[in-house]
Structure 1
Amino acid sequence: MALLPLLPATARAADPPVPPPSAPAARSAVAAMQPGWNMGNTYDAIPDETSWGNPPVTRELLRKVRAQGFKSIRLPVTWGTHQGAAPDYRIDPVWMAKVRQVVDWALEENLYVLLNMHHDSWMWVNNLSTDHDAVLARYKATWTQIAAEFRNAPARLVLESINEPQFSNTSGDDENYRLLAELDKVFHTIVRESGGRNTDRLLVLPTLYTNSEQGRLDALAAELADLRDPMVATTIHFYGWWPFSVNINGYTRFDATSEQDLIAQFDRVHNAFTARGIPVIVGEYALLAYDHNRPGIIEAGEQLKYFEFLGAHARERKLTTMLWDAGQFLNRNTLQWRDPDLFAQIRSSWTTRSGTASTDQVFLSKSGPITGQTLTLNPNGTDFQGLRHGSRTLVQGRDYTLSGDQLTLTAAALTELAGDRAYGVNATLEARFSRGVPWRINVRTFDTPVLSSASGDTTGLTIPTRFRGDMLATMAAKYDDGSNAGPADWADFQQWDASFTAYTDDAIKLTPEFVKSLKDGSRVTLTFHFWSGDTVTYHVTKSGDTVTGTSR
């Protein structure tokens, strides 16, 4: 065969086609959608809107969301549980009317609405490879009905082809990309040919798994190059560096590794799309393990640093972000934020940076003398302006010293703040900066936690624990031969919630999954790491269906 000339790396045949830039109207619409909020675990819930713990949607909820500064909502909808049989796959008109009502309410509140097909992606659409014609017929029927229902809705209604697309029983990514491109093309054709305002409505297409790996981005870029539609945007999801977002393998802090992972993902998306004039929506973001019902998995200050940095880098890369809220952020019964400090940080990140510090906890040992404590400030481009305790401004030189980014609380100030030195939080300070939200610092009195002997079975082991003002960070598990113990036997440190929990003030619990994974008759040494820096060792042995634990 004839030899082809060697092309520059940027022009190799293997490179994905470069899609044309989106229209200014598409870019301005996506920019106007920033920031966005997901109405998660409601119309995507199975089988109905209240099945996953949230109350019915009210107009007041939409007003609250708008009043809090959100410019758009993402409305995830699972359609398949509200459809009739083939060949029509008729959507229940009562269900369609519910969805329509929420869309209308949101539009009347001057919000953009991103409407999608949600859990259908894993309930039936994922079978496209093995049941191609039936799945495609149902997908076409579903989007034909949605497109017809909303064909004349205002342009602030935006449609998303499918949530987190995935396919089972395929030969690999090449087939996955082909299947997703087929679905997206069908979606695009149906909506555009349905007429009305759908002829130029903004449409949103996801990467495979809504993932930002380069191969996924390249495949979507090829789709866009094929469609050549100026009113199309792209979407990915982001839940942080996985080990940090679930607290496994010792990643308890939003450290340089987590930060670089975020930067890399947002930069790839920017380079693939935003820099080429194609808008990007981070259609879901949060932390995988964040849940108001399970505090402690990710320490409060580390969460704040994550959300602060995420908002800042998304702004830098011109990405529109939509907070995934399944009820863990906004209490939809009271319309109050469950953690006002966390939401204040999220909201501030939409427009500016905030100063943070290496920690939000200062631990004072009750059994020892109080000494000065040093934190490292992270001004993030702001200027440090002092410390406050309630209405009192602390005095530099007497209460604290500042040397570069090293903030030292003096022993005298800490003695006063600790008061009677009861276990737990004795005082909360605010480090104030020239802009953004203050950084809260809890002054805590503690002593090394005490764990007592316990017995249990394959349903788990409850270890009576006196925390004495401290907080659990993570747990390592090793057999006597030095090998790792637990379900995640590749990791020194096991995953919070999967292997252990600490949600009450009187116990640490080992999960059934952890106990069942243990080798019969082999002793396991657990090392519990606490946020004070203290560690406590504990020994567990399983014999048949019985498990015993001792601190000796």
Structure 2
Amino acid sequence: MKLFKKLTALISAAAIAAAAIPAMPVTKADAANKTASQILYEMGLGWNLGNSLDSTGPGDNSEENWSNPKITKDLIEFVHSQGFSSIRIPVTWGYHMDSSHKISASYMKRVKEVVDYAYNEGMYVIINIHHDNEVKSDGNYFYPDNAHKDVSEAFVKSVWTQVSETFKNYDEHLVFETLNEPRLKGTGEEWWFPVDNPPSNVQEAVGVINTLNQDAVDVIRASGGNNKTRLIMCPGYDASLDGATVAGFRLPNDSSSMTGVSIHAYTPYDFAMNTKEWEGAVSVYNDSIKSQLDWFFSQVKSKVLDKGMVCYIGEFGATNKNNDSERCKWAEDYTSKAKALGIPVYLWDNNLYGVGEENFGMIQRNSLTVAYPSYLKALSKAYPVTAPAKIPGDVNGDKTVDLKDGLLLQQHLAGWKVAVNKTNSDVNGDGVIDLKDGILLKQYLAGWKVTLK
């Protein structure tokens, strides 16, 4: 008992010092040596944390506005354990800004906390500007036309100035995406336009999107730190393949050559999204659908990759039509074709279930279970599941074992509501996290010759 009290005192005293040490992300020495293509290949199969931080509306609890639960570290750990090596975290900013475009400190802190859940797992993480493509009276938005160009530029520059400063020391595992699906919202050309002969309003929008992408890249690069060479992905009009290949679209000038194209592809549309049979919707992965999928990837290769650009598919998926076996066929083909081209793909998951339009749920966030195991297995076939590396004693998941871990485990054992890496906290390997783990970790931190398992 005296020994336990002594070690507890050691940890408690160290807590004062630990509290004064700012939490800094790990920076890999070789980060600057990786090319955009290498990073994209490593990103592999990704998952979208949809309808959470991208929900619209003010307040620190806005992530729950669209009926999804508060994001937890356990959720991200579960996603990682299911074979997703990266995560896209869509973020809506405009509802959390004052009249001078200042993002609230509490909201930025929450975004950083969620990013850290995944980043500290060793996952690649993407953050962006998401549902801010709308005209609002407060000026905290972007809209890609000349009438709103000035306010859009001010907003985009302001967001990326603040985000860049917050995350500039993170290594290459953090990727920025300038905008999400920039388009002429509310018009007849919002989602569809003739790519070979776009109307004048779309041509105008493409020019504004080029400017906004360039603004974001310039601000990010100027912020210094690892942002000087961070991978930045930029969408074309509505983030479609057409939008990235239409005449007039161009990637930003970037001396670091670390920019690429963000594409969204729920394709073929009649299989993946359309639920209206009278408009051509199908639920069977037939030869026609397969041919359309082949054509899509051939176009990505010839019109994007062969032109010297890199890309990822930031959103994809097939809505549930009570056709699990057919979705599995589609998923296996889709991901294998993407993997063959070195393109990472990010499954859209809005945590919505049932049959019909926009039901893209996969990871059930309340129960931490997989809704469609066979579908996930098919998606993952091209990207073999690798379990996250265990670092015994790394309780807070920052890839080191130090006094902060000892303090955090002590707080967890005392019943505090703190997040711990459960795999790394079971330091004696008996399958439970209890006082024995706390004592063993304290002994290790005190320099005893003990082994953490």
Q: After TM superposition, list the pairs within 5 Å mapping 1:384-399 onto structure 2.
A: none
Q: Corresponding residue for 2:205?
A: 176
Q: Does structure 1 residue 320 correspond to structure 2 residue 356?
A: no
AA aligned opposite 1:305 = K
Count residues in correspondence: 320
Q: How many angstroms does 1:70 deviate by?
A: 1.3
Q: How many angstroms does 1:144 deviate by?
A: 1.2
Per-residue deviation, residues 94-131 of structure 1 (Å, max 9, x unmatched): 11000001112211100111110001124531254322
Within 2, Cα distance between the matches of 1:23 and 1:172? 41
The two structures have a TM-score, normalised by structure 1, of 0.55
Q: Is the 8 A contact 1:23 1:231 kept in 2?
A: no
Q: How many angstroms does 1:298 deviate by?
A: 4.7
Per-residue deviation, residues 122-153 of structure 1 (Å, max 9, x unmatched): 45312543222222212211211111111122
Q: Corresponding residue for 2:119?
A: 107
Larger Rg, first or second structure (1 or 2) = 1
Q: Is the 8 A contact 1:203 1:231 kept in 2?
A: yes
Q: How many angstroms does 1:221 deviate by?
A: 6.4
Q: How many angstroms does 1:34 deviate by?
A: 0.5
CA distance 1:134–1:207, change in 2 (3 Å): closer
Q: Is the 8 A contact 2:44 2:339 kept in 1?
A: no
Q: Does structure 1 residue 271 correspond to structure 2 residue 295?
A: no
AA aligned opposite 2:250 = A
Higher strand share: 1
Higher helix share: 2
Pick aligned residue for 1:66 from 80, 93, 103: 80
Within 1, Cα distance between the matches of 2:37 and 2:384? 19
Q: Does structure 1 residue 185 correspond to structure 2 residue 214?
A: yes
Within 2, Cα distance between the matches of 1:314 and 1:221? 23
Per-residue deviation, residues 10-48 of structure 1 (Å, max 9, x unmatched): xxxxxxxxxxxx985211111111111111111001221
Q: Secondary structure at the match of 1:222?
A: coil
CA distance 1:312–1:173, change in 2 (3 Å): same
Pick aligned residue for 1:166 from 183, 187, 190: 183
CA distance 1:199–1:31, change in 2 (3 Å): same
Within 2, Cα distance between the matches of 1:308 and 1:68? 16
Within 2, Cα distance between the matches of 1:265 and 1:26? 22
Q: After TM superposition, list the pairs within 5 Å mapping 1:122-521 onto structure 2.
A: 122=134, 124-126=141-143, 128-167=145-184, 171-213=200-242, 216-219=244-247, 222-224=250-252, 226-227=253-254, 229-245=256-272, 246-247=274-275, 248=277, 249=280, 251-287=282-318, 289-290=319-320, 297-327=321-351, 328-350=361-383
Q: Is the 8 A contact 1:217 1:269 kept in 2?
A: no
CA distance 1:250–1:153, change in 2 (3 Å): closer
Q: Does structure 1 residue 81 correspond to structure 2 residue 95?
A: yes
Within 1, Cα distance between the matches of 2:208 and 2:365? 37
Q: Secondary structure at the match of 1:159?
A: strand
Q: Corresponding residue for 2:422?
A: none
Q: How many angstroms does 1:193 deviate by?
A: 0.5
The two structures have a TM-score, normalised by structure 2, of 0.66
Within 1, Cα distance between the matches of 2:34 and 2:73? 32
Q: Does structure 1 residue 29 correspond to structure 2 residue 39?
A: yes
Within 2, Cα distance between the matches of 1:154 and 1:227? 19
Q: Is the 8 A contact 2:262 2:314 kept in 1?
A: yes
Within 2, Cα distance between the matches of 1:45 and 1:321? 22
Q: Which protein has greater RCO, CA pairs closer than 8 Å, 6+ apart?
A: 2
Q: After TM superposition, list the pairs within 5 Å mapping 1:9-28 onto structure 2.
A: 25-28=35-38
Within 2, Cα distance between the matches of 1:81 and 1:218? 32
Q: Secondary structure at the match of 2:39?
A: helix
Root mean square deviation of aligned Cα:
2.3
AA aligned opposite 1:286 = G
Q: Is the 8 A contact 1:114 1:160 kept in 2?
A: yes
Q: Secondary structure at the match of 1:125?
A: coil
Q: How many angstroms does 1:350 deviate by?
A: 2.8
Q: Is the 8 A contact 1:128 1:135 kept in 2?
A: no
CA distance 1:129–1:277, change in 2 (3 Å): closer
Q: How many angstroms does 1:257 deviate by?
A: 2.1
Q: How many angstroms does 1:275 deviate by?
A: 3.5
Per-residue deviation, residues 312-336 of structure 1 (Å, max 9, x unmatched): 2112222111111111100111110
Listed as ranges, the gaps of 5+ residues in structure 1 are 1-21, 291-296, 353-552
Q: Is the 8 A contact 1:50 1:56 kept in 2?
A: yes
Q: Secondary structure at the match of 2:314?
A: strand
Q: How many angstroms does 1:346 deviate by?
A: 1.6
Listed as ranges, the gaps of 5+ residues in structure 2 are 1-31, 136-140, 188-198, 352-360, 386-453
Q: Is the 8 A contact 2:130 2:180 kept in 1?
A: yes
Q: Is the 8 A contact 2:144 2:182 kept in 1?
A: no
Q: Does structure 1 residue 98 correspond to structure 2 residue 110?
A: yes
Within 1, Cα distance between the matches of 2:302 and 2:313? 15
Within 2, Cα distance between the matches of 1:135 and 1:279? 26
Within 1, Cα distance between the matches of 2:281 and 2:114? 43
Q: Is the 8 A contact 2:87 2:126 kept in 1?
A: yes
Q: How many angstroms does 1:242 deviate by?
A: 1.9
Per-residue deviation, residues 403-425 of structure 1 (Å, max 9, x unmatched): xxxxxxxxxxxxxxxxxxxxxxx
Within 2, Cα distance between the matches of 1:180 and 1:127? 6
Within 2, Cα distance between the matches of 1:153 and 1:270? 31
**Percent identical residues:** 28
CA distance 1:220–1:261, change in 2 (3 Å): farther
Q: Secondary structure at the match of 2:63?
A: coil
Pick aligned residue for 1:43 from 48, 53, 63: 53
Within 1, Cα distance between the matches of 2:311 and 2:83? 20
